């Protein structure tokens, strides 16, 4: 059996190559006693020519006692991504199930994730886009085992490493420090800490059909997390089992004016409020106060003008909003000063 060498790191300031040698299809499937996939891996990819091999190799490195399938949604890339995906399909025809689109779906407002989800057979959905990759061969097994033993949980996530492929080579940490292992809707609403590439979601917890507001926003990963969290808590594992790639071509690098960002977030949270109902009204209203305050301060920071209406709106919705934000900043500062646990 081929040996696997995995090099992990965090915040690399120089280019770093990861070497991952996957097993052949027969060896991967040798220990499977069933035919129906328990886990469906969904990978949305577009113009990931330089990254997609590492993503697919990370899927193929998984060591499980159950079947899994790999659904790759290729959204009409203009580089060689589709050719690379096809070469893997030819080597792993029973594992990899590609969706080669003829028109770019994202530009039409469609969701590559939902397009792939419609083909998923698994009880659990694992997510990783084509520019990120998994590094731990036991990732799928550990998460599926936990969800199987804890039916009240809607999803599981874990910590990740971060590598920096940007021109600027700046330290980048998009995920808030995690202070506990079990997280509820309010926790996930309050602050972004779940790396999408770490998620395994119980398929039955995903709404069907998906609410209409989902297609009107850009932060669909956060919307998916919150919709799922309304069905049960999330378990967070502090072991780093994957690598998030920070690069200049990511969707999150598209600049958005603070007021546009404000409107998109309002669409998200008001859509959640309308869909989930009064049981979630208080935490969502508090979040809307934070959205108002964030937009007001962003204008002050970037454009040297404070939007007094947004600031006042924040205080009217939640007079304690400034204190809450300062307290969270203190928690993050305190968490970052804690000694790092070895994995």
Residue pair 310/292 in contact by the 8 Å Cβ criterion:
yes
Question: Does the pLDDT of residue 325 top 50, yes or no?
Answer: yes
Per residue in 126-145, pLDDT tens?
Answer: 999 999 999 999 999 999 99
When comparing pLDDT for 326 and 283, which is higher? 283
pLDDT at residue 212 tops 70: yes
User: 333 burial class (0-12, 13-18, 19+ CB within 10 angstroms)?
Assistant: exposed
| The predicted structure's pLDDT at residue 19 | 46
- Cα gap 127→137, rounded to integer Å: 15
What was the pLDDT predicted at 11? 34
Mean local confidence (pLDDT), 281-305: 86
When computed from its CA atoms, the radius of gyration of the chain, rounded to whole angstroms, is 20
Helix H segments across the chain?
A: 25-29, 52-60, 81-91, 112-117, 139-149, 185-190, 220-229, 258-276, 281-303, 308-317, 321-337
Per the model's pLDDT, the better-predicted residue between 225 and 217 turns out to be 225
The overall average pLDDT reported for the chain is: 85
Q: Name which residue leads in pLDDT, 316 or 19.
A: 316
183 contacts 236 by C-beta, under 8 angstroms = yes
pLDDT at 47: 94
Q: How far apart are CA 137 and CA 4, in angstroms?
A: 9
CA–CA gap between residue 45 and residue 87 (Å, rounded): 15
pLDDT at 143: 98
Q: Using DSSP, state whether 70 is helix, strand or coil.
A: strand
Quick one: average pLDDT of 91-96? 96
At 55, give phi and psi (nearest 5°): -65, -50
**Domains, the chain, with CATH or none:** 25-253 (3.90.550.10), 258-337 (no CATH)
Rounded-to-integer distance, Cα 58 and Cα 63, Å: 11
Closest CA to 242 of 141, 153, 163: 163
Predicted confidence band of residue 304 (pLDDT cuts 50, 70, 90)? confident
Q: Mean per-residue pLDDT for 198-204?
A: 97
Do residues 156 and 237 touch, judged by C-beta distance below 8 A?
yes
Residue 7: the pLDDT is 32
**pLDDT recorded at residue 165:** 62
Longest pairwise C-alpha distance within the chain: 65
Please determine, for residue 247, whether its predicted confidence score (pLDDT) is greater than 70. Answer: no
Question: Is 146 in contact with 186 (CB distance < 8 Å)?
Answer: no
| pLDDT at residue 25 is higher than 90 | yes
Q: What is the pLDDT of residue 248?
A: 60
* The pLDDT of residue 16: 42
Paired sense of beta strands 155-164 and 96-100, if any? unpaired
Q: Which span out of 16-25, 84-93, 210-219 was modeled with the highest average pLDDT?
A: 84-93
Residue 1 has a pLDDT of: 37
Mean pLDDT across the stretch 242-268? 77
If pLDDT is split at 50, 70 and 90, which confidence band does 233 have? very high
8 Å CB contact between 178 and 238: yes
Rounded Cα gap, residues 288 and 284, in angstroms: 6
């Amino acid at each position: 059996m081929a040996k696997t060498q995995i090099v992990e790191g965090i915040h690399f300031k120089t280019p770093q190559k990861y070497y991952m040698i996957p097993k052949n299809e027969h060896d991967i499937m040798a220990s499977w006693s069933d035919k129906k996939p328990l886990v469906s891996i969904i990978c949305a990819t577009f113009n990931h020519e330089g990254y997609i091999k590492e993503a697919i190799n990370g899927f193929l490195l998984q060591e499980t006692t159950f079947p899994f399938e790999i659904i790759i949604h290729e959204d009409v890339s203009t580089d060689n991504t589709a050719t690379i995906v096809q070469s893997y399909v030819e080597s792993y025809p029973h594992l990899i199930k590609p969706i080669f689109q003829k028109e770019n779906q994202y530009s039409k407002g469609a969701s590559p994730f939902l397009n792939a989800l419609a083909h998923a057979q698994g009880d659990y959905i694992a997510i990783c886009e084509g520019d990120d990759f998994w590094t731990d061969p036991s990732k799928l097994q550990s998460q599926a085992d936990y969800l199987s033993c804890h039916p009240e949980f809607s999803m599981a996530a874990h910590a990740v490493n971060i590598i920096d492929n940007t021109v600027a080579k700046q330290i980048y940490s998009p995920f808030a420090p995690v202070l506990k292992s079990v997280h509820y809707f309010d926790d996930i609403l309050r602050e972004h800490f779940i790396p999408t590439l770490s998620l395994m979601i119980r398929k039955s917890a995903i709404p069907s059909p998906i609410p209409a507001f989902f297609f009107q926003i850009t932060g669909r990963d956060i919307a998916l997390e919150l919709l799922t969290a309304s069905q049960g808590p999330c378990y967070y594992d502090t072991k780093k089992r994957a690598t998030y790639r920070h690069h200049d071509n990511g969707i999150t690098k598209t600049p958005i004016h603070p007021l546009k960002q404000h409107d998109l977030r309002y669409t998200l949270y008001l859509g959640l409020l309308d869909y989930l109902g009064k049981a979630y009204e208080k935490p969502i209203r508090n979040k809307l106060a934070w959205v108002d305050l964030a937009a007001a301060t962003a204008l002050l920071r970037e454009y040297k003008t404070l939007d007094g209406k947004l600031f006042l709106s924040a205080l009217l919705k939640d007079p304690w909003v400034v204190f809450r934000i300062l307290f969270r900043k203190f928690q993050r500062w305190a968490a970052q000063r804690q000694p790092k646990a070895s994995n």
